[in-house]
Structure 1
């Protein structure tokens, strides 16, 4: 497995692989890899011959007072996990190579990037779409894999790829969960044992939303309130939103529709967690 932080070396490796007839797949990450990330590698390997994982803690998607400095960076453990998963190459760039002095170009997807996560974390998605566009431009993969847990992020990335006519298939893989339902996240390691139990309130609230809708509840406001009430029944939480939205646009719903997505963001202690659930009503 090749490991490099150099753009020229990445492009040379990809060119060699293409000359051998390989299809190229990319899994962009910020490291601190867990089973959810490895599932993206496995999904990518089903489609291509050469899988490249990027590990880069992107400073431009963190706001003031967020966890950029303490974000986990266990590089050697991440590389071991990539080797075990059959990754062909890991790209580990340094900040100056991607954001040199005088850098001033940004990719901004209008509309959806200003609501929900975008409202809670201003400029977050500008940083996300910019770094993903840069990585896709450097690597120029045939396939790029993202996780469904970051629902709004993958929706924005798919729109960016469409809008910029990138010849890339974006694959969204299902959220990987712990046995008790907690969505896997690199930030889960911030949680104390007590907070880890409290964090189950997110998946439980999503269960409540789905069960309410399947039982015949027709009030969107009531479903959202039930999610919020469940989150607030726990100590040491600070919910930011519990909503039911259109799965493609994330716009507010005026009435129920066959396909919807429930989305939650809340702090548990000082750790901010998100989760979501696609909900299909019987026809």
Structure 2
């Protein structure tokens, strides 16, 4: 029989993990900030296929939000999240309070340099320090064999992989494909902020990336031309404000002027007040 529970303390998580380890069971971890959608569910599904037990963390992490970001309004609905996790055959939801995760006088943070300077890192100072700190804490609490992250947050995935390598975490990081709505919009918890009109206008992100992919496939190699193609498509939409359009090396995340190997094309766009991201990776044929 499938056992499932929601717990709120580190002590309880560690007790569960201890019992599973005694039985020789493998453990998968999916870290989330809640308000789960099909993208999250695809991570949990993959984790349950590849591990004996699955832990899902649901924690809106305060230290990865900037001063003017949406910490207070970020959607929270633990009952709904727990139901989705149970249906996806997760075994445990860890839903701590902030005071459970952080001491008041906490003085230690995890910071990955280099990879965090561009893309979202340039626009959200301190964001990745917050992400790396909470993820490393969750890794220490859960001690998973594998941890699952979505490719929509491409920079986050690269940063987590680097952190795991540098800090010798004995954990396999598994990147999972972007899950989209039928009309192409990447699934995001922040999509709930969009009005009906904005939801329609948000399609410009995926449309612009499709145009970029078309000209890349036809042989275009100059980043400036690809960036211009994306910009032209997005600026057709009145409510869209470009945060960034970046074409970077897939591994180092450093900007490239001419495409000669695998690149990540990543964008962040405000639709009204809602910041959305999307991306794709392009491998140039030899």
Hey, what does 1:61 align to over in structure 2? 64
Equivalent positions of 1:96-111 (< 5 A) are 96-111=99-114
Hey, what does 2:215 align to over in structure 1? 212
The alignment's TM-score, normalised by the length of structure 2, stands at 0.97
The gaps in structure 1 that reach 5 residues or longer are none
Equivalent positions of 1:32-181 (< 5 A) are 32-181=35-184
Q: CA deviation at 1:280?
A: 2.0
Q: CA deviation at 1:267?
A: 0.3
For residues 159 and 91 of structure 1, what CA distance do their matches in structure 2 show? Answer: 25
Hey, what does 2:229 align to over in structure 1? 226
Question: Which of 3, 6, 15 is the aligned partner of 2:6?
Answer: 3
Are 2:25 and 1:25 aligned? no
Are 2:267 and 1:282 aligned? no
* Secondary structure at the counterpart of residue 273 of structure 1: strand
Are 2:201 and 1:198 aligned? yes
- Which portions of structure 1, spanning 4 or more consecutive aligned residues, are displaced by more than 6 angstroms? none
For residues 181 and 155 of structure 1, what CA distance do their matches in structure 2 show? Answer: 24
For residues 103 and 211 of structure 1, what CA distance do their matches in structure 2 show? Answer: 49
* Secondary structure at the counterpart of residue 21 of structure 1: coil
Per-residue CA distance 1:120-177 (angstroms, 9 max, x = gap): 0110100000000001011110000000000000110000000000000000000000
The gaps in structure 2 that reach 5 residues or longer are none
For residues 49 and 119 of structure 2, what CA distance do their matches in structure 1 show? Answer: 33
For residues 162 and 216 of structure 1, what CA distance do their matches in structure 2 show? Answer: 35
Q: CA RMSD in A?
A: 0.9
For residues 199 and 255 of structure 1, what CA distance do their matches in structure 2 show? Answer: 28
For residues 125 and 101 of structure 1, what CA distance do their matches in structure 2 show? Answer: 20
The alignment's TM-score, normalised by the length of structure 1, stands at 0.98
Contact 2:221 2:260 in 1 (8 A): no
Q: CA deviation at 1:258?
A: 3.0
Q: CA deviation at 1:101?
A: 1.2
* Secondary structure at the counterpart of residue 113 of structure 1: coil
Per-residue CA distance 1:218-271 (angstroms, 9 max, x = gap): 221111111112111111111011121111111111321231111000100000
For residues 246 and 65 of structure 2, what CA distance do their matches in structure 1 show? Answer: 23
Contact 2:119 2:246 in 1 (8 A): no
Q: CA deviation at 1:61?
A: 0.5
Contact 2:65 2:127 in 1 (8 A): yes
